[in-house]
Structure 1
Amino acid sequence: MEIPDSARMFNASKLAEQSGVSVATITNWSSLADRPLRAHVGEDGKRLFRWGDLIEFLDAHPGLPAAAKAAKKIRTNPHGSAGVSGPDRETLKAIAREIKAAAIATADATLRAAEHQRDIAHEMAETQLQMVRDLCTTVKALDNALTLALAPNTLND
């Protein structure tokens, strides 16, 4: 089981199961005079507890033995409830292989896209270079025409 969302609500029994303590401990924590575990009233009138409130409570009460035990359990086995083991080594290896393959495929696709962009940019640069060459040719032709038109022997001075 994954780490619950901090806003997820649980009844006392399920919260106790998730945190590795007894239902009585959850009830006692919600009855403390000093910074109790906050309880919410559900639509059916029953008390519910937010996962995020439990985490805040555990952080606020490290001196309570059961709180220290629950905090340790949650921190050392964050992906499972009490008594449930995590993925085995082969499953983790398979996940790692899938992640590696996805990373390689993403890198290859990114490289192909960059090469395509380079080719497009190169074609655009070649087109712009040809336009500048044509402009230079036009300016030279204009200069030649003006030179001939303004030559001293062509003017009626």
Structure 2
Amino acid sequence: MTAEEIFKKENRFFGKATINGIDCTIGYNKEFRWSWFATQLNTFVIVGETEQPIDAQLLESFSAACFEYAIKNHKGWPRGLQAGVGSIAVLKGKTTDDARILAMNFSKKHFSAFEIPVVFDVEEQKAYRYLKAPVWGTIYYPYFSKRIDALAQELKD
């Protein structure tokens, strides 16, 4: 399935945009959970596909640009007031080892926000994401993991 088909099926389709020079499909949802200590999380899942080899530098710059997009476009309560923003940046293409390593170890701290780079290797049909949740914001990472793993299953050709 395409990212657009997946997001429409989930009723999470937000739109399309060019981010960091890459055409992207964007999914969005706003969710409140008591288990998140009564917070609201605005989650953007941004899927881009590229023909150029995905190395760590490309993945990191794509993730940063997706994070900025999420911060500018989230709706709802202001960050920090019982609310946060999640940016899951999924870049599809042929990957290099350093991109996979970055995705599996990356955790950048932001105020009431999460930047999560994911690389989907089209040759292996496999997503690479963080291996362990950081201490800061750890309550959200099981949710992020479920979203990423479900998306990766559906992105497989």
Q: Give the TM-score taking structure 2 as reference length.
A: 0.24
**Bigger fraction of residues in helix:** 1
**Bigger fraction of residues in strand:** 2
